[in-house]
Structure 1
């Protein structure tokens, strides 16, 4: 299923003879056919404007911050996909308690969080700082969740794996071990089924000081057989090394009388911790999505405003809109229809022999972060 594409566009009021902003919006709406996209107003307040040089620098800064915040928003989306049940991440992508499309098509500048009387530079810094802090908090919490989940998976694998990895409580008993000896110790070795004969022939001579005929089979599954072997403690490091070299799997295991209960408590605690951190991560991801997405769209609103001032001058009389295209093909059609306003680029745009609009601006004169220059303010983005 393709994702919806959104287009932010701003045009000067002079696209209509009257110069009226409402009439300009109506003209813009009439330009885009219903099958290409749904058009809605995108209301942007006026901001403090400094010098022209400062505005040009802010336009470049906004382009960089836009990319950084878009990346942060994408990371939140990934976290939501990873911590939610399959296919349910979208249910948690609410923006200020509203569905994404509703928020975008009814966008208003949040004057409580981002006071429009502040300078553009201050607003850029505040928006960027907010996203960085949220991104760091979520990254830290998600790392905690991944660690808790990995620990739980490892413990669960011990309950369900083969004899080379699974917990041995319930399989072995205290009587299987030599206890209370100052010199002897019993090891548990998982032997691949196809190497059982090799084990029985060789275990007594892998190292010195192995107790003859001390190996006994305790259990077997589809892959491994579990054997004991008793030897002098000082030979254990060498024996373990030789066993591994022969593809036998020594199991690290120390018998304790209440080991089975401890193992059960450990996995129960791991499940509780994993669920707790999962819920904390989900709540933080939902908050981060809402706040980072809002910040992202506010940054785009600033980009539209700054670019409009640079293109259309002051006093700024313009109309801005957001277009929701159902797919990439519709977005391309909307762009082609909007190119009816390419005359705003003056001599920058001509037509080829077939009548198609062509861009005559040399590549090295194009500014900003996009390879394609538009004669009007145009930003396209996608919500995954």
Structure 2
């Protein structure tokens, strides 16, 4: 599938068929590897010249918006599939592959009546895509909120011993808690473990001898227990801190531990459910946005062609998928078939420079703009 297409229109002097045949013939002879398709546009309601000029001012801005929403949803699909490890599904519009929808475009009369004013069609397309983008923001915020909660829990469980949740590292048998005795948890720098083992019994009075046991060790710290009389616990915390040992507040509770596990399980389930529903919504919405964008492009090529070539509407619109190496040759063919006496004007240095900067400037003697699918 090509990722970049040109939508162009050429003025027709007589009937469209001879021009289409000449275009096909020249493409096949000079750039045979360039796909070429008719872009069928119905007879839309022209309105007044002033209304077309006014509409033309809004077309470029609206096109940029529609294109950005299309790409935003596509990137969201890619992100969701990458996170879940799911196999990518081909994007479709009304059950048709995206590139096929563009190259075989058919106007949806039921959705966009051709007798409606062009501005009404354009405004309707813009409004519907705005609603989709707003819906995406709400759904994405809900999904990211759950992800953030999970990430916060995971950081607590996978961070260093100085900050992580200790409940998964401590068993009931590691803790003594009675009227007179208490077990504290000490976070000791790895390089200070010998100092801890040599000094913890003397950091205060009434420490149970040989009561310290290492429970866990990470890259920076080791986690030790120490049992002592409850009434000297505060003094032990103070002297430990002076020695560079951190006493972590901890109270073992099987109920709290089970509650945390249930919360974690629920968040994981919520995340998977939201991810699945968001992905499905993105697939559907991408099709809706892309269809709206292509109808907008049809209005745009129609309006610009009328402004360029005049009335009555007599032009051939088509879709070209040029390879980079063939672009100059294709442009030359299109220019030769446009029969424009003022082609020198259309290739003025200023406009050519703007086009080279990536602008959507039509520096050609025919109507042309680019559709980027990716």
TM-score range, shorter chain: 0.7 to 0.9
Q: Structure 1: where are the runs of 5+ without partners?
A: 351-357
- Equivalent residue of 1:258, what SS? helix
Match of 1:191 in 2: 188
Q: How large is the RMSD of aligned CA atoms in angstroms? A: 3.8
- Equivalent residue of 2:7, what SS? strand
Q: Which of 326, 343, 347 lines up with 2:342 in the alignment? A: 347
Q: Structure 2: where are the runs of 5+ without partners?
A: none
TM-score, with length taken from structure 2? 0.82
- What is the deviation of 1:154? 4.3
Match of 1:355 in 2: none
State whether residues 217 and 225 of structure 1, in contact with CA within 8 Å, keep that contact through their aligned partners in structure 2.
no
Q: Which of 265, 275, 289 lines up with 1:268 in the alignment? A: 265
Question: In 2, Cα distance between the equivalents of 1:299 and 1:8?
Answer: 12
- What is the deviation of 1:286? 0.6
- Judged with a 3 Å threshold, the aligned counterparts in structure 2 of structure 1 residues 122 and 337 are, in CA distance, closer, same or farther, namely same
Match of 1:353 in 2: none
User: What are the Cα deviations for residues 131-165 of structure 1, in whole angstroms up to 9, with x where unaligned?
Assistant: 11111111221222223233334445556666456
Question: In 1, Cα distance between the equivalents of 2:320 and 2:335?
Answer: 14
- What is the deviation of 1:213? 6.2
Match of 1:12 in 2: 11
Question: In 2, Cα distance between the equivalents of 1:225 and 1:103?
Answer: 61
State whether residues 341 and 376 of structure 1, in contact with CA within 8 Å, keep that contact through their aligned partners in structure 2.
no
Tell me whether 1:318 sits opposite 2:345 in the alignment. no
TM-score, with length taken from structure 1? 0.80
Tell me whether 1:23 sits opposite 2:18 in the alignment. yes
- What is the deviation of 1:256? 0.9
Question: In 2, Cα distance between the equivalents of 1:232 and 1:123?
Answer: 79
State whether residues 39 and 318 of structure 2, in contact with CA within 8 Å, keep that contact through their aligned partners in structure 1.
yes
> Superposed, which structure 2 residues align to 1:57-206 within 5 Å?
57-85=54-82, 91-156=89-154, 163-164=161-162, 167-174=165-172, 176-177=174-175, 179=177, 187-197=184-194, 199=196
Question: In 2, Cα distance between the equivalents of 1:239 and 1:49?
Answer: 84
State whether residues 2 and 321 of structure 2, in contact with CA within 8 Å, keep that contact through their aligned partners in structure 1.
no
Match of 2:366 in 1: 376
Give the aligned length.
364
State whether residues 240 and 246 of structure 2, in contact with CA within 8 Å, keep that contact through their aligned partners in structure 1.
no
Question: In 2, Cα distance between the equivalents of 1:205 and 1:328?
Answer: 78
> Superposed, which structure 2 residues align to 1:277-356 within 5 Å?
277-325=274-322, 327-341=323-337, 343-344=339-340, 346-349=341-344
- Judged with a 3 Å threshold, the aligned counterparts in structure 2 of structure 1 residues 71 and 205 are, in CA distance, closer, same or farther, namely farther
User: What are the Cα deviations for residues 336-362 of structure 1, in whole angstroms up to 9, with x where unaligned?
Assistant: 432324641x23417xxxxxxx82375
- What is the deviation of 1:102? 1.3
- Judged with a 3 Å threshold, the aligned counterparts in structure 2 of structure 1 residues 217 and 312 are, in CA distance, closer, same or farther, namely same
